[in-house]
Chains A and B, each alone.
Chain A
Amino acid sequence: MVIEGDSKFKEIIKKQFICFFLLLTINSFGQRTIEGRVVDASNVPIAQANVSIKRSDNDVIIAFGFTNKTGYFKIEGNDVGAFRLKITCLGYDDYNQKINLEKDLNFGSIILEEKKINLNEVIIKNESNGISEIGDTLRYKIERFLNGTEETLKDVIKKMPGLDIDQNGKIKANGKQIDKFLINGEEFFTNQEKLATENISSNMVKNIELIKNYREFKNIDKSKNTGVTAININIKDQFKNKFTGNVELGVGNKYRLHSTLFNFGKKVLFNLISDSNNTGELSLSFRDYLGFIDKKEEDVVGEVQYSKPEDVPRFLVVGNNVKERSSSFTAVNLKYMPSKRVQMNLYSIFNDVDQIENELSKQQFFTGLGTFYNNEIRNVKETSKFNITNIETVFKPNQKNVLTDVLSFSSLRKNEFSLINNDSNLVTNSIKNADFKIENKLNYSVIFKNQQKLSLSLKNEFSEFLNNTDIFSNNPFLDLNFQNSNYVINQEVRSKAYLNSFISKYEFKIGKVGANLFSEFSSKGSKFNTIEKQFSIFNNSVDFVCNNKTFGLETKFKVFSKTILSSSYRFSVINFQLDELSDDKILFIPQFLLKTSFSNNHTLKFSYNINSSYASAENLLTGGLIKDYRSIYYNENIAYNSLFPSCQFGVAYFYTNTAKQLTIISNVSYYKSKNALSLNIISTDSLNRIKYKLSPFEDSFNSFVFFEKTFRKVPITFKASYSYGTNSKNSFFDSVETTIGSKSNSGFISLLSRFKKTSFQTEVGIQFSNDIYYTNNLSSAVSIVNPYIETSFKIAENISMTNYFSYRKYDANTITRNYYQLSPKIRYVFPKSKVEISLIGSNILNIDNREQISVARHDNYIEENISQTLAGYFLINLKFKL
């Protein structure tokens, strides 16, 4: 090389030296040295591995270094106490070890395991598919998947690959229901995802994140795997720290008034939603309602939950099979975070629904001798008022202590008036219900050294239930001897129940085995009284108390590196008291769960558990209990100390590969009960006597498979699911043991477009179901085939159009119906204004009421119903944004 002496060259040299470097190194002198040697499985030194010392309670690095050619490292640390040594290197699994920095440490040789998975699966940076994965968080760049026709968060979520919203408004991620719903990282809209997704406008959403292993504020556990899946909606900055929302008014052959108000602040999250309509649309779904009433009790041991479908308001279960429906709804959500230590979350919901049902029902009854038919024409009018208010307060003074209190109040008032015309009677049946429930749950958890945790909770619950059933008829009924031809029944049911429980849990570790010792003391009592004005045979008085003492042990350990076995063994002594009687039962309940993840993407779970439930006061009738004009309940042989043991076996398999955008979920479960609560039914033309009776057998089998794949080369997402279930149970007709059962197949196949160059998007699919009910040699079936097409398209800058069309074919034993549904919607957004106008058509091919058929199986009869369904409507809807 020729070195020229000119100035230009000197300048180049100078500049390139700047690009090089000029700096002296300064070494720090720490007090303690941590040294060791990092090697791979075959003892070959690993150079350039990253060695850091982190604080054990957070992620802060206090010292770090690298291994040299021989794999040797030496780090100096100034701090004293508990820390974590973390070693990372490309191509190897992370190494973590707890250390105590009190003296110099020499680790000798540390072996790093070769990574069995592609790093792409942990950290994915794939601009082209619009999804990025950072650790446990999957972030959707939502604009990649939208076409501008979306109005609400629901429309947005449905277009994200891997995310979906089911018919109950629940959000599903890769086929599984999500656990928590977050706004800007804070839990909000508890149990109200449907409300949130239908009311947050699409333009407020910045991005969506799916978080695996989400850590709740009240969670003080150290473990990284919380098992909680959360969806986080990040709101755009311009919608934060101020009131936003909108008011909508729709007028047509029906009306709709809807308003929302939000304030997403740093310390306060607030939301008010109110809706009033006569279109039949509901703001509350059956699942929402159950979520509010039967809250999942993670900590309660041995709790037996009974849900009585007849107590649930009809509007939640009959779907669209109503002639008319109007509802008004108000929900308030408030989250207040005054400091980093305290969080308060309040929600209150008021829901009023009035509805009218018209139904023609053909009932086929089974008796020991054969079958007979009963035909009914039913007109049911129901008015219901439901309220729930829930306040959760969490106080976390530090990372080691947390105090939680949940106070909840709910009430339901409903009046149901039915006019029933059957072959022999004209009956009016009036049921008035008034229930309320108040409960409080207080929990305190503390973490000690070595991951020991103590958790204490106290739960108190009180509920009251009132039911008045008044029946009038033009002819005698229930085979009763009415006096003076006054065919009237006035029955009053009054039930009070309480539950007090104290649960303590102590978690600790022995070596690598996680263990949890727990105990529960609970007392549950209920008083069930009924009175009928004329007939004393319908008087009942049951005073039933269960005192439960439970001790148990749960263990969790790694059988192999990626296989975890959890098991729990529970000993309970249950003391049953009925009036003057008393008896003790001892129960042993083991449960096992084996979970293996044979790579980051594949998870396989086996579970086996044994459980036992017992009777409730309503089963221990001393007299008769009238349900309707032709049904009376009795107790045949259910004792106050009867136990109903059952066992369940399940296998589940999950596969999710974000890079390939492929998800597969499948599960199989089998349930068997030896001593089940069943019925002995004695039916005649005019009366069903339904007696609670122990049955020797009940079992059910369920299987499910779900598949979703987004293709790279074709702009399409393919989704399909199929489920098959059978259920069989021994029941008694006229005291003769009979097997009744059902088989059901259902599923869907759908294709979603992901076109990039046009705003036109479509979903085409077909849903199908086939249910067969059988008893001895008789069977009844209904099948539904429902192809549908949903399209959305932006016609011009400010005009968008969505359309839904479906064809539904119902096939039952004797009836067939075809049903077409068309719901178009055109939306125009006025430029540079806060006003939108929409033309909404819903089910416009059926503006007159149409009929829908359904088949329902009850224990002693099968019913084919022809119901009037909600009429279609059209509205001109104006939306003003605040």
Chain B
Amino acid sequence: MLSFLPMQLFSQTLKGVVVQRYLMFSGEGSSLTEKEKEPKIFSYVYSNKKSLQRLISKDKSSTDTTYIEKHGLKLSTANVIISESEQNFYKDFENDIYKLVSTTNKVDLSIKGKIKVFKWSLVEENKIINNYKCKKATTTNVISGMKIPIVAWYCEDIPINDGPIYFNGLPGFIMEIEVGTFSTSTFEKLVFVKESIEIEEPKNGAADIAFD
């Protein structure tokens, strides 16, 4: 009968897996090579107003052949795929810190700034992602001078203001992000854990580059 006693427990931590898929590159008319089509897998953890998204699929940089189709001509080029061996997206909402820590071809990089603020438009459109009922929201992101439409799918039932990569700021957890026609990041697995976890700010050999 002990198991019938109400449990004085509540969830503190959310763990998950984020899958990032590339659809195409930003270069005009370029198509993806097989290597680039492979999704990147990240682990994700949120606890005590901090979150960390860490790359777990370790693809080494490689040389590959890609095709550029331009003016009806198909040109093959040898291309060097630069893959990160380490990539961490860290957010500390309490202290308003966003940090990207990565290692690419043994080159360490660490960029630190404030958490991005987006102006989201909520759209009355629903979609079920991995059994969670999600609502749609859109915004525009400017990357390298290009205006890129962003579509987010957030779940109101999970009251956490966070999402993949640097996205956040919706009235529910962002389950999926579509960055223009380039890539999507989706939470494929989510698990709630009762115990809270201390998330440490990621660091590597590089000094922080301030970015505001």
A398 at the interface (CB under 8 A from B): no
Question: If A25-B119, A90-B12, A134-B131 touch, does A598 touch B171 (CB 8 Å cutoff)?
Answer: no
The stretch from A116-124, A196-204, A520-528, A745-753 touching chain B is A116-124
The verdict on B197 contacting chain A, using a C-beta distance below 8 Å, is: no
CB pair B6–A598 under 8 Å, yes or no, is: yes
Task: Determine whether the beta carbon of B117 is less than 8 Å from that of A20.
Answer: no
Q: How far is the CA of A134 from the CA of B155 in the complex (A)?
A: 11
Residues of chain B contacted by A15 (CB below 8 angstroms)? 82
**A9-B107, A118-B10 known; A61-B122 Cβ under 8 A:** yes
Q: A12-B82, A23-B141, A50-B171 are in contact. Are A125 and B190 (CB under 8 A)?
A: yes
Whether B6 and A64, one on each chain, are in contact in the complex, defined by CB atoms closer than 8 angstroms, is no
Complex interface bits, A11-37 against B, C-beta within 8 A gives 1, otherwise 0: 111111111111111111000000000
Q: List, in ascending order, chain B residues with CB within 8 A of A14's CB.
A: 144
In the complex, A64 Cα to B118 Cα: how many Å? 13
Cβ of A291 within 8 Å of any chain B Cβ, yes or no, is no
Q: Is the CB of A117 within 8 A of B131?
A: no
Q: Is the CB of A91 within 8 A of B11?
A: yes
The answer to the question of A247 belonging to the interface, with a C-beta cut-off of 8 Å to chain B, is no
Contact of B144 (CB < 8 Å), options: A18, A599, A655: A18
Report if B75 contacts A (CB, 8 A): no
Which chain A residues (76-114) contact chain B, with CB distance < 8 Å?
88-92, 94, 114
What per-residue 1/0 map shows which CB atoms of B101-112 lie under 8 Å from chain A?
010110111010
Count A-side interface residues using an 8 Å CB cutoff: 58
User: B133 contacts A119, CB within 8 Å?
Assistant: no
- Residues 1-34 (chain B) with a chain A CB within 8 angstroms: 4, 6-12, 14
Q: A120-B192, A125-B191, A599-B7 are in contact. Are A90 and B14 (CB under 8 A)?
A: yes
CB pair B131 A139 closer than 8 Å? yes
Cβ-defined contact, B12 with A132, below 8 A: no
Contacts of A116 in B (CB 8 A): 6-8, 10
How far is B6's CA from A602's CA once the two chains are assembled, in angstroms?
Answer: 8
- Which B residues are in CB contact (< 8 Å) with A188? none
CB of A41 closer than 8 Å to a CB of B: no
Contact of A125 with B6 at beta-carbon distance under 8 Å, contacts A11-B82, A50-B172 already known: no
Are B100 and A20 in contact, CB atoms less than 8 angstroms apart? yes
B143-195 at interface with A (beta carbon < 8 Å): 143-144, 156-161, 165-166, 169-172, 189-192, 194
Q: Does A8 count as interface, using CB distance less than 8 angstroms?
A: yes
A261 at the interface (CB under 8 A from B): no
| Complex: chain B residue closest to A51, CB-CB | B171
Query: Do A19 and B165 touch (CB < 8 A)?
Result: yes
Q: Given A52-B171, A61-B122, A116-B6: A123 and B144 within 8 A (CB)?
A: no
Within 8 Å CB of B111, what residues of A? 16-17, 20
- Assembly CA distance A118 to B10 (angstroms): 5
CB neighbours of B109 from chain A (8 A): 12-13, 16
- The reply to whether B11 and A120 form a contact with Cβ atoms under 8 Å apart is yes
Nearest A-chain residue to B168, judged by Cβ: A66
Identify A47's interface contact among B94, B189, B206, CB under 8 A: B94
State the CA gap A127–B191 with chains docked (Å).
Answer: 11
- A residues in contact with B9, CB < 8 Å: 117-118
Task: Tally A-B pairs: CB < 8 A.
Answer: 148
**Is A69 within 8 A of B94, CB to CB?**
yes
A858 at the B interface (CB under 8 A): no
Contact A26 to B159, CB < 8 A, known contacts A17-B111, A119-B192, A125-B190: no
Contact B116 A47, beta carbon cutoff 8 Å: no
Cα(A1)–Cα(B100), bound, Å: 16
A90 partner residues in chain B, CB cutoff 8 A: 11-12, 14, 158-160
Contact B10 A91 (CB under 8 A): yes
Expressed in whole angstroms, the Cα–Cα distance for A474 and B164 within the complex equals: 92
Asked whether A48 is an interface residue with its Cβ less than 8 Å from the other chain, the reply is yes
Are A48 and B161 touching (Cβ within 8 A)?
Answer: yes
| Chain B contacts with A in 79-128, Cβ cutoff 8 A | 82, 87, 89, 93-94, 98, 100, 102, 104-105, 107-109, 111, 113, 116-119, 122, 124
Enumerate chain B residues within 8 angstroms of A12, measured Cβ to Cβ: 82, 104-105, 107, 109
Contact between A119 and B11, CB atoms less than 8 A apart: yes
Assuming A18-B143, A60-B124, is B7 touching A117 (CB within 8 A)? yes
Q: Contacts A12-B109, A116-B8; is A21 near B166 (CB within 8 Å)? A: yes
In the bound complex, CA of A771 to CA of B37 (Å): 70
Q: A52-B171, A122-B157, A125-B190 are in contact. Are A1 and B108 (CB under 8 A)?
A: yes
Interface of B is mostly: loop
Q: Is the CB of A21 within 8 A of B116?
A: yes
User: How far, in whole Å, are A608 and B102 apart by their CA atoms in the complex?
Assistant: 68
Q: Give the most central of A1, A20, A51, A135: most B CB within 10 Å.
A: A20
> A48 with B93: in contact, given A61-B171, A123-B158 (CB under 8 Å)?
yes
B154 CB, min distance to chain A CBs, angstroms: 10
B130 interface hit (Cβ, 8 Å): yes
Interface size class of B (residues with CB under 8 A): 35 or more
Report the separation of the CA atoms of residues A598 and B8 in the bound assembly, to the nearest whole angstrom: 12
CB closest residue in chain B, given A662: B3
Given the contacts A116-B10, A118-B10, A22 and B82 also touching, CB distance less than 8 Å: no
Residue of A1, A94, A115, A602 with most chain B CB atoms under a 10 A cut-off: A1
**Chain A residues in 8 Å Cβ range of B159:** 49-50, 88-90, 92, 94
CA distance A602 to B142 in the complex (A): 51
Nearest neighbor of A602 in chain B, beta-carbon distance: B4
Answer whether A115 and B11 are a contact pair too, CB < 8 Å, given A16-B102, A134-B132: yes
| Closest beta carbon of chain B to A726's beta carbon, Å | 26
The answer to whether A20 and B166 touch across the interface, beta carbons within 8 angstroms, is: yes
Cβ–Cβ < 8 Å partners of A115 in chain B:
10-11
CB-based contact B10/A66 at 8 Å: no
Complex alpha-carbon distance, A20 and B104, angstroms: 15
In the complex, what distance in Å separates the CA atom of A23 from the CA atom of B166? 12
Report Cα–Cα, A94/B105, bound state, in Å.
Answer: 47
- CA separation between A15 and B82, bound complex, in Å? 10
Question: Which residues on the B side are within 8 Å of A1 (C-beta)?
Answer: 108, 205-207
- Minimum Cβ distance to chain B for residue A502 (Å): 42
The reply to whether B12 and A91 contact each other, CB–CB distance below 8 Å, is: yes
Task: Pick the contact of A125: B49, B104, B108, B132 (CB < 8 A).
Answer: B132
In the bound complex, what is the Cα–Cα distance between A19 and B107 (angstroms)?
Answer: 16
Report chain B residues within 8 Å CB of A69: 94
Output the nearest chain B residue to A4 by Cβ-Cβ distance: B107
Given the known interface contacts A22-B143, A117-B10, A120-B11, the answer about A125 and B189 at a Cβ–Cβ threshold of 8 Å is yes
In the complex, how many angstroms separate the beta carbon of A712 from the nearest chain B beta carbon? Answer: 15
In the complex, A88→B171 CA distance in Å? 9
User: Nearest Cβ distance between residue B171 and chain A, in whole angstroms?
Assistant: 4
CB-based contact A25/B117 at 8 Å: yes
Contact of B100 among A19, A88, A119, A132 (CB under 8 A): A19
- Closest residue of chain B to A66 (Cβ to Cβ) is B161
Chain A residues near B105: list those with CB within 8 A: 8, 12
Inter-chain contacts of A8 with B (CB < 8 A): 82, 105
CA distance A845 to B156 in the complex (A): 59
Residues from chain A with Cβ under 8 Å of B113 in the complex: 20
B190: chain A residues within 8 A (beta carbon):
125
Give Cα distance in the complex from A132 to B165, angstroms: 27
Bound-state Cα–Cα, A4 to B194, Å: 45
* A residues neighboring B (CB under 8 Å): 1, 4, 8-9, 11-28, 47-52, 60-61, 64, 66, 69, 88-92, 94, 114-120, 122-123, 125, 127, 132, 134-135, 139, 598-599, 602, 655
Q: Beyond the given A50-B159, A122-B157, please list 11 additional residue pairs across the A-B interface where CB-CB is below 8 A.
A: A16-B109, A19-B100, A19-B166, A60-B122, A61-B122, A90-B158, A94-B159, A116-B6, A116-B7, A123-B158, A135-B133
A–B Cβ pairs within 8 angstroms, 5 of them: A20-B113, A21-B166, A69-B94, A125-B189, A139-B131
Which residues of chain B have a CB within 8 Å of any CB of chain A?
4, 6-12, 14, 49, 82, 87, 89, 93-94, 98, 100, 102, 104-105, 107-109, 111, 113, 116-119, 122, 124, 130-133, 140-144, 156-161, 165-166, 169-172, 189-192, 194, 205-207, 211
Listed from nearest, the 6 A-B pairs whose CB atoms lie closest are A88-B159, A599-B6, A119-B11, A132-B131, A115-B10, A64-B171
